[in-house]
Amino acid sequence: MKVTKKTKVIRSPKRGFYDKETIYKILDNHFICQIAFVYEGYPVIIPTIYGRDNNNLYIHGATVSRMLLELEKGVPLSINITQTDGIVLARSAFHHSLNYQSVTIFGEATLVTSENERYKALKIISDQIIPFRWEEVRLPSKKELKATKILKIPIVEASAKIRKEPPSDEKEDYNLSIWAGEIPITSTIQNPISDPKLKEGIPIPESVKKLMKKE
Amino acid sequence: MKVTKKTKVIRSPKRGFYDKETIYKILDNHFICQIAFVYEGYPVIIPTIYGRDNNNLYIHGATVSRMLLELEKGVPLSINITQTDGIVLARSAFHHSLNYQSVTIFGEATLVTSENERYKALKIISDQIIPFRWEEVRLPSKKELKATKILKIPIVEASAKIRKEPPSDEKEDYNLSIWAGEIPITSTIQNPISDPKLKEGIPIPESVKKLMKKE
């Protein structure tokens, strides 16, 4: 990925990554991003679901969504995804830190109009959240498709920032009798809870079993 | 909290909350937020650590941080914190959803200049991440304090949005033999990992033990 003025990691440059492999890996590990854009002069930030297909992100929502109505104009937007991997406890208050993996994208969205691509995009978003679920469900009706808007965001300007290391203290502090280390934080999937209105005798489906196994 | 044009939850209004208790509860359950602001005409979104004190958030960073240099001018900013609690699997693709708790704040920052308040703010941020750690560490030196900038953001315009319910399908779909329910997602603290450079014989401190117990 081309490094631009907007994507260049200035603070702690060694933590900046610009290769697609690193950026895609973080994107593929998540399905919620935060999107920022300017609306009536104010910065607005909204969490939304996405799906990645090659070098594009797809987002979707209601046809009447204010965010999508604004973004489809092609206004500049910024996306961030941040995964906290751990709290880094140093000997000094000053050197406390976090281990994390973060991706920031600058770009703009376009409205997807082709019915083929719209349908494909919905499957991509579904697969991003839980693979194989699309094959199990009642697929979108014409009415539901009509109520859904899909935007595509090419990943043109993007960078990743990663910290993954032990604490880094001042030389003289290593002699202090203060514990230092990392408290890892993980996101964990718990056992599925059936809908209270579920018909009797319907087993946990393959998509859910596979997601649980992946953890 | 006064409901404003910017904070009013339009889509699914029943999921919007404006009371301080709900907003503070979500804020206090986290320590990373995403801040958006406009920089040279572009929306920029940056994850950062915060600490809450009454109706203010404190953020901090390097004195030379571009984000803080911009925000201290008092430009409009927007903050979002989103916690994903579960994937909601409906019988229809269309009604798949997430359970989540989200807070959005609109406001502006001011530079904290009083040395007393600066020091207090650093402890508040530290306590937000891991309570009682401040009492264990080597506290900031004059040089470290000089390298640190602190901004205060009053929580003036804010709203929470919460979804916490089973799937909601079309009436006729409840008869389908398709599993529906929720896959809960939790953020979990793992066992602490000592710094490879830790002096021998230093036990896990109280702050870490308390954080583990809280989980």
Q: What is the pLDDT of residues B85-107, one digit of tens each?
A: 999 999 999 999 999 999 999 99
Distance from CA of B156 to the nearest CA of A (A): 15
List chain A pLDDT tens, one digit each, 215 residues.
888 888 888 778 888 999 999 999 999 999 999 999 999 999 999 999 999 999 999 999 999 999 999 999 999 999 999 999 999 999 999 999 999 999 999 999 999 999 999 999 999 999 999 999 999 999 999 999 999 999 999 999 999 999 999 999 999 999 999 999 999 999 999 999 999 999 999 999 999 999 999 76
Q: Is a pLDDT exceeding 70 seen at residue B35?
A: yes
Residue-wise pLDDT tens digits, B140-197: 999 999 999 999 999 999 999 999 999 999 999 999 999 999 999 999 999 999 999 9
Contacts of B126 in chain A (CB under 8 A): 93, 96
Among A181, A37, A124, smallest CA distance to B195 is for: A181
Which residues from chain A sit within 8 angstroms of residue B98, using beta carbons?
32, 49
Q: B188 to chain A: which residues are within 8 Å by CB?
A: 185-188
* Tokens 């004059």 found at: B142
| Closest of B30, B95, B129 to residue A195, by C-alpha | B95
Listed by start position, the domains of chain B span 13-214
CA distance, residue B35 to nearest chain A CA (Å): 8
Interface of B with A in 160-179 (CB under 8 A): 166-167, 173-179
**Architecture in CATH of B13-214:** Roll (2.30)
Task: Name the token pair of B153.
Answer: 């953001």
CA distance A23 to chain B (A): 16
A142 touches chain B (CB under 8 A): no
Q: Does B134 touch chain A (CB under 8 A)?
A: yes
- Distance, in Å, from the CA atom of B126 to the CA atom of B132, rounded to the nearest integer, reads 8
- Domain A13-169+182-214: assigned CATH number: 2.30.110.10
How would residue B133 be classed by pLDDT, with cut points 50, 70 and 90?
very high
What's the pLDDT at B215? 62
For chain A, positions 60-99, list CB contacts with chain B under 8 A. Answer: 62, 65-66, 76-80, 82, 84, 87, 89-94, 96, 98
What's the pLDDT at A153?
98
CB proximity A151 to B under 8 Å: no
Which residues from B are below 8 Å from A181, CB to CB?
A: 192-195, 198
From B65, B106, B182, residue closest to A193, measured CB to CB: B182
CA distances from residue A101 to B74, B160, B185 in whole angstroms, order as listed: 29, 26, 19
Closest CA in chain A for residue B143: A94
Q: What number of CA atoms fall less than 13 Å from residue B60's CA on the CB side?
A: 29
Question: A95 and A176 in contact (C-beta within 8 Å)?
Answer: no
Which of the residues B37, B42, B172 would you substitute to probe the A interface, choosing the one with the greatest number of A C-beta atoms within 10 Å? B42
This model of the complex carries an ipTM of 0.94
Q: Which residues of B touch A106 (CB under 8 A)?
A: 42
Q: Where are the alpha helices (DSSP H) in chain B?
A: 20-28, 66-71, 115-129, 142-146, 206-214
A54: left (phi over 0), alpha (psi -120 to 50) or beta: left
Q: Name chain A contacts of B80, Cβ cutoff 8 Å.
A: 34, 45-47
Q: Is B55 on the interface with A (CB under 8 A)?
A: no
Contact at CB, B183 and A136, closer than 8 angstroms:
no
Which stretches does DSSP call E strand in B8-154? Answer: 16-17, 32-39, 42-53, 56-62, 77-89, 97-107, 110-111, 148-154
**Is the separation of the CB atoms in A163 and A72 below 8 Å?**
no
Interchain pair A208, B183: CB under 8 A: yes
pLDDT at B10 > cutoff 80: no
Q: What is the pLDDT of residue A215?
A: 62
- Cβ-defined contact of A78 to B34 (cutoff 8 Å): no
Residue B2 in this model has a pLDDT that exceeds 90:
no
Q: What is the Cα–Cα distance from A146 to A114, expressed in whole angstroms?
A: 12
Indicate the residue of A42, A186, A188 with minimum beta-carbon distance to B76: A42
The answer to whether the Cβ–Cβ distance between A32 and B98 falls below 8 Å is yes
What local confidence, expressed as pLDDT, does residue A1 receive? 83
Mean pLDDT of chain B: 96
Window A:14-53, CB contacts with B under 8 Å? 32, 34-38, 41-47, 49
